[in-house]
Amino acid sequence: MKKVLVADADESMRNLLMKFLVREGLEVSVATSGKELFEKMSQNKFDFIIIGENIYKSNRADINSIVDRLMPKAKIIYIAPFYAFSEGFEVADDKVIKCGDKLFKISELKNLINEFSGLSG
């Protein structure tokens, strides 16, 4: 079973993603802040890290460093649920996949997870 860490400060977004991912057959952990994200990443290995814009923007260097050291095969999926926050924001790191050009869509997330699950076995 693939393991996913969902990191988003918005409780409703975490709950939505958790319900969707569990229904898709994934083992899900959640983090509500950058600090909690780092704690979870140091305690467990994840196949996917789905990270909201608010946490990613303020912690991107540390996130990339920890993933490189502890989970080099993990895929980081950046989600931007609010157009106003993500307009014009580009993800410069080639390890990070931006889900959606403007608005985050659950169908795009599902497609990314299916694609990456197929690649990794």
Q: Which residue has the tokens 């958790």?
A: 18
pLDDT for res 111: 82
> Average pLDDT of 26-48?
94
- Mean pLDDT rounded to a whole number for the chain: 79
* C-alpha radius of gyration, the chain, whole number: 13
Domains present along the chain, CATH in parentheses: 3-119 (3.40.50.2300)
pLDDT for res 87: 44
pLDDT in tens, 58-71: 887 888 888 888 88
pLDDT-derived band at 104 (thresholds 50, 70, 90) equals: low
Q: Which residue has the higher pLDDT, 117 or 97?
A: 117
> Average pLDDT of 11-19?
90
